[in-house]
Amino acid sequence: MGNEELDRTEVVIVGSGFGALAAAEKLGKAGKRFVLVSETTEHLFQPLLYQVATGVLSPAEIAPPIRAILAKYPTGDVRLGRVIDVRPDAREVAYVSGGVVRTLGYQSLIAATGARQAYFGRDEFEKVTFALKTVEDAEKLRRQILRCFEEAHTTTDPEHRRNLLSFVVIGAGPTGVELAGQIQELASRYFERSFHGIDADDVTVTLVDGAGEALPAFGGKLSEYTKTSLEKAGVEVVLNTMVTDIDDHGATLSAPSTGMQKRLTAETVIWSAGVRANDFAGVLAERTGCETDRAGRLLVNPDLTVGGYADVFAVGDMTNLDNLPGQSPVAMQGGRHVAKMVIGKVQRGTPFKYRDKGSMAIINRFRAVTRVSKIELTGMIAWVAWLAVHLYYLIGFRNRAVTVMSWIGSFLGRQRPHFHLAQDSSVVTSMENSDSPRESHAA
């Protein structure tokens, strides 16, 4: 790896998400030298991505630059780069930055590279579905939603209009539930007013899952409440049903228990049915001999070390320790635990103990579900709790203030300030050059 002069630091952190930031802040406060390498310049607050996709918030509010957050720690450095390899015996990582492969030496390595969508062996679905993992995903989905409403407003073809106003969301976990709820809400509270001639009843949102419950991780009363709330709002919830095919114009469903086969035509199919660890988990597994689960997540040791290496750690969504959930508190607590061991505040080898402070998921305006220990909350109180907790964890005073203002405008009022779209100029030019005046579905 690398012939150039070796650059060394005490701790290399890979990633800029929840796990990486928590570790970096602990190290920075302790005055430990570290270099954080991430392939994105932002610290993305994924739980609020759906609000970017549905025009409530702008990316700036939920994705502040990681460099700015860590600027207060003089012993920390941030580099933009994609880590592609590691040599644990030599204690070096290789990363690509600006098209150049660079090498960085470490005494301890903390990997927190997260997860991405999984398509369960049907990778072709990626091209014909929308996802919600990155800022780009959220912006792409937001443009698609608006494009569909704009075109439905002008088309004179009833079938095309129906397809434009049909949305299929696959996967009834927290992301699928919040998206289905929000798209239906957009139709009834925002677009119905701003697009004369489009009623909420013209819009179909179908949420599909192979499991028998919405939000299966909650189960029981909370899952039942979620399903009923979505249905009351107008979302069609289709459970115990598999998606067997997806193309540019819709999805094919199959319910083995009833023998049902159904084709849903829709211009927008959103995939939120599963995740797998990002590629760097595979590299680490190979280089350290660490085993992985079916989702490619590292089966780390109880102290979050990887394979047989006492100075290589992994935290968050790229790992699986005792089936802890892929949620931000697990990543943050893991990041802090590892940093404490690195700075000597906690003895090396100490097993990571996750403190479960509860789980929550949002359904739509004024409705959410929350479980804290044995206490289960639903409705308005759970919704307010969700907003308060997520506001608390959002980084930066300005972002919090802007977010509160946006929530007041969107949830008490009917504003969605971030919907804007310009027509693709290449499509306009090709239509201008065409001699056919008839309606054409070129976009």
Ligand X SMILES: Cc1cc2nc3c(=O)[nH]c(=O)nc-3n(C[C@H](O)[C@H](O)[C@H](O)COP(=O)(O)OP(=O)(O)OC[C@H]3O[C@@H](n4cnc5c(N)ncnc54)[C@H](O)[C@@H]3O)c2cc1C
Q: Which residues contact ligand X (rule: CB under 6 A)?
A: 14-20, 37-40, 46-47, 49-50, 82-83, 112-114, 132-133, 174-175, 278, 280, 316-318, 326-329, 331
Query: Minimum distance from CB of 46 to ligand X (Å)?
Result: 3
Residue for token digits 């003895």?
Answer: 347
Sheet holding 166-170, edge to edge: 236-238, 204-208, 166-170, 268-271
Query: Minimum distance from CB of 178 to ligand X (Å)?
Result: 7
- Please tell me the distance from the alpha carbon of residue 265 to that of residue 206, in angstroms, as a whole number: 11
Query: Minimum distance from CB of 143 to ligand X (Å)?
Result: 17
Task: Determine which one of 178, 192, 213, 267 is catalytic.
Answer: 178
Run of H or E including 151: helix 135-154
CB 77 within 8 A of CB 83: no
- Measured from the CB atom, the residue of 38 and 410 that comes closer to ligand X is 38
5 has catalytic annotation: no
For the beta carbon of residue 231, count every other beta carbon within 10 angstroms.
Answer: 13
- Measured from the CB atom, the residue of 140 and 153 that comes closer to ligand X is 140
Query: Minimum distance from CB of 297 to ligand X (Å)?
Result: 10
- Measured from the CB atom, the residue of 138 and 152 that comes closer to ligand X is 138
Run of H or E including 92: strand 92-97
CB 416 within 8 A of CB 55: yes
Query: Minimum distance from CB of 283 to ligand X (Å)?
Result: 8
- For residues 194-223, b (16+ Cβ closer than 10 Å) or e, as one string? eeeebebebbbbbbbbbbebbbeebeeebb
Task: Burial-class residue 341 by CB neighbours within 10 Å (0-12, 13-18, 19+).
Answer: buried
Radius of gyration of the chain (CA): 23
Query: Minimum distance from CB of 17 to ligand X (Å)?
Result: 2
Count the helix, strand and coil residues of the chain and give each as a percent rounded to the nearest 5: 40, 25, 40
- Measured from the CB atom, the residue of 153 and 287 that comes closer to ligand X is 287
| The pair of three-digit structure tokens given for residue 230, joined into one six-digit string | 């979505």
Task: Burial-class residue 264 by CB neighbours within 10 Å (0-12, 13-18, 19+).
Answer: buried
- Measured from the CB atom, the residue of 18 and 190 that comes closer to ligand X is 18
Query: Minimum distance from CB of 33 to ligand X (Å)?
Result: 19
- Please tell me the distance from the alpha carbon of residue 369 to that of residue 379, in angstroms, as a whole number: 7
- For residues 387-426, b (16+ Cβ closer than 10 Å) or e, as one string? beebeeebbeeebeebbeebbeebbeeebbebbeeeeeee
- Measured from the CB atom, the residue of 20 and 198 that comes closer to ligand X is 20
- Measured from the CB atom, the residue of 204 and 327 that comes closer to ligand X is 327
Q: Which residues pair with residue 382 across a beta bridge?
A: none
Q: Which are the catalytic amino acids?
A: 178
